[in-house]
Amino acid sequence: MTKLALGTHPYLLGFEQLERLVERTAKTGNEGYPPYNIEQTSEHSYRITLAVAGFTSSDLSITVEDNTLMIRGRQVDDSEGRMFLHRGIAARQFQRSFVLADGVDVGEAIMENGLLHVDLTRQVPEKVIQTIEIKKG
């Protein structure tokens, strides 16, 4: 028996892009830093929260391109001339990406107490019922 790919299943017409989306999501290269939460704040809204202690808002950038929310952080290394006996707080850059469904809009971003909150809203499409006329051939 031949195994069908998701995008080629006969009942899923027009979903070829879904398989590419899953592959793209798997390749985002997200590592475990910085840690984050995703919460549903209402029936149609979400909040992504990243723990970005030590970063200022000018160290962070948030962009959306091709339905991908990209959050990047880059700190300036100010350790020159300082001697650390222990350095457990890393000043490293990061890139965290999230693939957004069609109709998900990025709202505001808020920085408070070392946490970056990014609010998302899912637009609910209107229900459309279309009647197709059957013509005689």
Instruction: Locate the domains of the chain by residue range.
Output: 1-29, 31-122
Give 18 or 50, the one with higher predicted confidence.
50
Question: What would the mean pLDDT of 104-117 be, rounded to a whole number?
Answer: 96
Structure confidence at residue 29 as a pLDDT band (50, 70, 90):
low
What sign does the CA torsion over 91, 92, 93, 95 have?
Answer: negative
Question: What would the mean pLDDT of 106-135 be, rounded to a whole number?
Answer: 94
Question: What's the CATH class of domain 31-122?
Answer: mainly beta
Query: What is the structure's pLDDT at 100?
Result: 92
DSSP character at residue 67: T
The token pair that represents 76 in the structure block: 């300036």
Question: What would the mean pLDDT of 60-87 be, rounded to a whole number?
Answer: 90
Query: What is the structure's pLDDT at 56?
Result: 92
The token pair that represents 71 in the structure block: 């959050």
Structure confidence at residue 27 as a pLDDT band (50, 70, 90):
low
Question: What would the mean pLDDT of 100-118 be, rounded to a whole number?
Answer: 95
For a pLDDT cut of 70, what percent of the chain falls above it?
Answer: 81
Residue 10, preceding peptide bond in cis (omega within 30° of 0) = no
Give 30 or 24, the one with higher predicted confidence.
24
The token pair that represents 128 in the structure block: 């459309």
Query: What is the structure's pLDDT at 79?
Result: 77
DSSP character at residue 130: -
Q: For residues 75 and 93, is the Cβ–Cβ distance under 8 A?
A: yes
Question: What would the mean pLDDT of 67-95 be, rounded to a whole number?
Answer: 86
Tell me: pLDDT of 11 over 80.
no
